[in-house]
Amino acid sequence: MRSLLAGLWLTHSLFAVTETQHAFEFSTRIAEKVSLNLHSRFRTEPATQGIYQIRFGPIVTYRWKPRLSLIGGYYFGRQQAEDGDFVGGHRWFGGGESMLRRRPRWEVDVRGLIERFGPRNASDFTRYRGRVRWSARGRIAPFTSQELLADPSGFRSVRLAAGVRFQVSQQVQAEVGYFFEPRRRDVGPHRHMWTTLIHFRQRS
């Protein structure tokens, strides 16, 4: 039985699409407990269409408790439609993030978000996200996470991720990573995603 399940999983992963995701962020503290993050990101599908999705927008984080923060934000995005044209859309989201355990060499945090999408070429819809992440602490820090995505129809996808974070300086942080995302059949094919992130933090 285990061999059969492993074979089915391998078959699904072999037929998955391969994409890349590249993000750039700038964050600054705007009040004692409030920070602003200006986020931008684009995705590519190198084998077929190059850049197919871009998004940007602000994220505000309020540190409500020492280990609990509230998150709210908005993205405007454009995505390539089947006819090759780029279609705009809006995304509003909110939720929270909590540090479950912190040790000198590692930490575990959880995050939950509710997102509302307003695409111009389709009906509005809601998506729910829940993530647990383990991260090492240090200038070179590996991390791994599992994120479940759902909508009113139930399970949508799961993202199984791993990567390495580099603390280049006090103001600059970089990440390289990968996630595999099995998706519900009507959402799209499974996918492999290679990711990069560069984060700039204003000097305090």
Question: Residues 114, 93: contact at Cβ < 8 Å?
Answer: yes
Question: What pLDDT, on the 0 to 100 scale, is given for residue 38?
Answer: 98
Question: Residues 58, 36: contact at Cβ < 8 Å?
Answer: yes
Shortest CA distance to 48 belongs to which of 88, 82, 77, 76? 82
pLDDT digits (tens, 9 = 90+) for 67-117: 999 999 999 999 886 544 556 789 999 999 999 999 999 999 999 999 999
pLDDT digits (tens, 9 = 90+) for 139-193: 999 999 999 999 999 999 999 999 999 999 999 999 999 999 999 999 989 999 9
In angstroms, the Cα distances linking 176 to 45, 100, 124, 146, 169 are 17, 24, 32, 16, 16
* pLDDT greater at residue 84 or residue 62: 62
| Predicted confidence (pLDDT) at residue 12 exceeds the cutoff of 60 | no
In angstroms, the Cα distances linking 75 to 42, 87, 100 are 12, 14, 28
Question: What pLDDT, on the 0 to 100 scale, is given for residue 83?
Answer: 46
The rounded distance, in Å, linking the Cα atoms of 75 and 58 is: 7
Q: Other CB atoms closer than 10 Å to residue 32's CB: what's the count?
A: 6
| Predicted confidence (pLDDT) at residue 9 exceeds the cutoff of 60 | no
Q: What are 132's strand-pairing partners?
A: 110, 146
Sign of the CA dihedral with 186 first, then 190, 195, and 197 last: positive
Give the CATH number for residue 187: 2.40.160.40
Coil, strand or helix at 46: coil
* End-to-end alpha carbon distance in the chain: 56
| Predicted confidence (pLDDT) at residue 24 exceeds the cutoff of 50 | yes
Question: What pLDDT, on the 0 to 100 scale, is given for residue 82?
Answer: 57
Q: What's the average model confidence in pLDDT over 51-68?
A: 96
Beta strand ranges found along the chain (DSSP E): 17-29, 34-45, 50-65, 68-80, 86-102, 106-119, 125-136, 140-151, 154-167, 172-181, 191-201
Q: Containing domain of residue 65, as a range?
A: 2-201
If one counts the domains in the chain, the total is 1
Question: What pLDDT, on the 0 to 100 scale, is given for residue 123?
Answer: 78
The rounded distance, in Å, linking the Cα atoms of 154 and 72 is: 23
